[in-house]
Every structure is written in C-alpha cells, then in structure tokens.
With several copies, the nearest count.
Chain A
C-alpha cells in the first residue's frame, strides 16, 4: 500500500492533469514489442511498457482434445508474476493476481476468435494441437494486463505450427504459421481518488480504488474485467470504453 504523503502528492498532481512521471492521465508509456526472441519457442515476444518487461512464449504440443469438442485444438494460457521481477512477488503456485491476468488474456484471445481452433486438429477426437501461451514478468512496473495481451498477441501472430509425422513432432524448418487471424489489444484504467488514468505504473496501482481492463478488436469490446475495492460510476465506464477504442489503434501499431 502507498503512504499518505505520496498519495496526496499524486492526487494534487492528477488534479492538474499530470502524473508523477510527467505523463498525462490518458497517456500510455512507451511501448516496444520484439518478436522471435526465443528460438526454442514456436513463437515469442518481449514487450516493454515503460519499465515493465514481459516475456511471452508459445509452445505447441500434440495431445488429446476435450471430450466435448473433439474437433478443436486447445488454447491454454498461464501467467507468472515472477519473484525476480519485483521485491513484493513471491515464489510458489500462481497467486490470484497472476491467475486473473492469465484468464483475462485468455478470454480476450478466445472471445476475439484470434485462433481458429478448428484448424488445429490432427486426428478428429484423438489428437489435436495444444497451444500453450506462457507469460512471465521480467520486470514488473504496473499494467501487466496490457503488456501481457500485447505479448501474447505478438507471440501468437509470429508462431509457427509444428508438423506431426509418423507419431512424432517436427519443430525444425517450419513454414506454416499458427492459424491466427485478427488482433486484440487491451487498455487498463485505474481510478485513484477522483481521477482515472490509463496504463498505470506499479506506484499508481498501489493507490488504486478501482481498475478496468477493456479488450478491443476491430472497435468492438471483446473482454472486460473490473478490479479493485471500489467502483466506477456509469459515466466513467462509458468514457473508458471510448478511450480504449482510441488507444487500441496506437496499441495495434506497436504490434506492427
């Protein structure tokens, strides 16, 4: 939690429309997305969002489909708030916060129908491709939600599909890409006192009253996730939707 002096400083600054790092309330930090950083992964991306660094990798394995969808591949998304990326994170099984991030990224990709799982079937009802998207924080300085979505999107968009031949998986010299179509990005807002900010730093997150992550694809809302111990009023929700649609264009550019 944040100390009272810093909180007052923040709120005074926000009232003037400026954040402690000099940004405007509705301004994202610098974004860089580098793909293909891990040659052992089928797809990978390192995302920097200000000082936040997130590494996402995609591995594709062969396995059994779910019994209720024999003709679909499987997408599985995991996230770790690693103990080496921030002093306050701990080792052990994923925290509720890490699980929430993984599930929100997963829903955005799934609901935006980014991956055509019907094209991931090796043999109907028996063998399909399992796509694992694993998200790791390398340096955590707030807004892992949006960095993780960018990283997952970039890693999937550049991922190769292995070949299944004679019971074995071939991962070398691959040509085919994963059947990925379209792009989803998300914008996360936090409310501190009376102000609503986009792309919060860790310091801003430690002062938040409410949080909203909005996933956008082609100008439509594809995911929503509210957090925090307080609420937003209706007008704030509407405004954040508008702003997330605007931000989505810049975020898509970062994905190239």
Chain B
C-alpha cells in the first residue's frame, strides 16, 4: 500500500519534474506488428500501447453486418503484467467501457461508407501502464488505421489532463497526467479531438473541477494535442519515406 504524497506539484514542478502544461516524451512507431494491415506503438513516457488494425474484412456473425457501411470495432485490453498487480486475462467491465469509447471516437473519422458490409477491427493493447493508456491507445489506433491505408477524414489525437494539489492543498490543472497524478489527483480527464473536423470525439472525467478549471486544462491539453498530432504525422511520413 503506497502512501499518498503530501503534494503532487510544488513550486510549479510536478513529481517527475514537468511543468503544468508539459507532456512526457512521446514516441510513435508504425509497423510494429507485421501481420496486421496497420499497426503502431505509442509511448507516453512509461505508458506503452500498441494498436493493430485488421480490415476491411468479412464480418461474422452476419447479423452484425451493416448494409451501407463498415463496422468499426475496437477492443482495448491490457497485458496481465502491464500493471502493478497482475490483471486477470480477458476484458473486464473497465476494458469493455474503454473499448466502446475508443470505437466511437474512431468512427468519427473513418470513411465507413467506402466499405459496406465489412468490419475494420482495431486492437489496442496496453504493454505497460503509467496512466493515460486509453488516450495513448486511441492515438496509436488512429495511426494504425492510416498505416493500414483506411480512408479517413483525419487523425484522432488526444492528451489527458487533470487537476492535482500543490503543497498548499490548492488544485492546479496539468496536461498529460501520469500514474501518481491519476491515483492521487483530484481529476483525470481523458480528452481527444479530431483536428480535421474540429470536434471533441472523446471526453471522460473522474474528479471535481469548476468550469473555469476545466477550460483552463483543456486549453493546455490542446497544445499538447497539437504537438502529438505532428508526431503522428511524422511517424506516418517516416513509414512512407522508408518504403
């Protein structure tokens, strides 16, 4: 049992040395699963997630087939040893919920009408968890879809933000929360956009914030999203230049 630290930010410095709006090192690599039609690994600091895309392919069972478009399915899961306490294999309630919001976010950009009656399967797997795994996974999934050559209106890009207490107990908004901030902080907000559509496509919150705090954190996250988006684009370009 870990002990709750006295503060999560002090003199504007977070436990890992970052400033409020600063994000962890981001590393994006395509083609990590050669068998997949598209794949991508995203590292947000120690959080490491891989996404694989198979499809468009035939859909079973038949009663799920959509006659006018492709079904985009997502399955988020964690390796049993990606977390401190071993996770039992197979998706639980948390994983089912996250799979749902990831699939919905991706559907906002995939041109599903191009592939009626088929399925596009997106597998998001957490290799190592240090908070923000769903957002890292969504970023990876979006690049993996592009890597698979699926026509898209644009990428989906996200960065979590949160509220953490400082040495005086006051709440401070920060971008890209990591584990201790997620665990002990006052709010954790998963947030992703479609830059092309200028839309919020994923938004989930645990915590307690005022409207002002929410907007302040969101603005920080938007800057981190801009950077992350460029990294996504770079990774895709690197692949095509490498080809």
Q: A-side interface residues toward B, CB under 8 Å?
A: 38-42, 44, 51, 53, 55, 57-59, 61, 67-70, 78, 80, 82-87, 91, 93-94, 96-97, 99-100, 102-103, 107, 110-113, 132, 134, 136, 138-141, 168, 171, 212, 217, 219-234, 237-238, 241-242, 245
Task: Tell me the nearest residue of chain A to B214, going by C-beta.
Answer: A221
Identify A139's interface contact among B35, B100, B194, B197, CB under 8 A.
B35
Identity of the chain B residue whose Cβ is nearest the Cβ of A230 in the assembled complex:
B108
Sample (28) of A-B pairs whose CB atoms are under 8 Å apart: A38-B128, A39-B128, A42-B81, A51-B35, A57-B79, A58-B81, A70-B1, A86-B35, A87-B57, A96-B96, A99-B93, A99-B96, A107-B206, A111-B187, A113-B208, A134-B80, A134-B81, A141-B34, A217-B208, A221-B208, A221-B214, A224-B189, A225-B204, A225-B205, A226-B203, A227-B101, A231-B197, A237-B203
| Best-buried of B79, B104, B127, B128 by chain A (most CB within 10 Å) | B79
Contact B121 A78 (CB under 8 A): no
A68, B86: Cα distance in complex, Å: 14
Residue B16 CB within 8 A of the other chain: no
Q: CA–CA, A254 to B93, complex, Å?
A: 31
Q: Are B94 and A103 in contact (CB under 8 A)?
A: yes
Taking a contact as CB atoms under 8 Å apart, the answer to whether B205 and A224 are in contact is: yes
Partner of B199 from the list A97, A99, A232 (CB cut-off 8 Å) is: A232
Chain B, interface size category, equals 35 or more
Find the residue from B32, B80, B202 having the highest chain A CB count within 10 A. Answer: B80
- CB neighbours (8 Å) of A82 from chain B are 123, 125
Task: List A contacts of B54 (CB < 8 A).
Answer: 83-84, 87
Residues of A within 8 A of B194 (CB): 231
Across the interface, name the chain A residue whose C-beta is closest to B130: A40
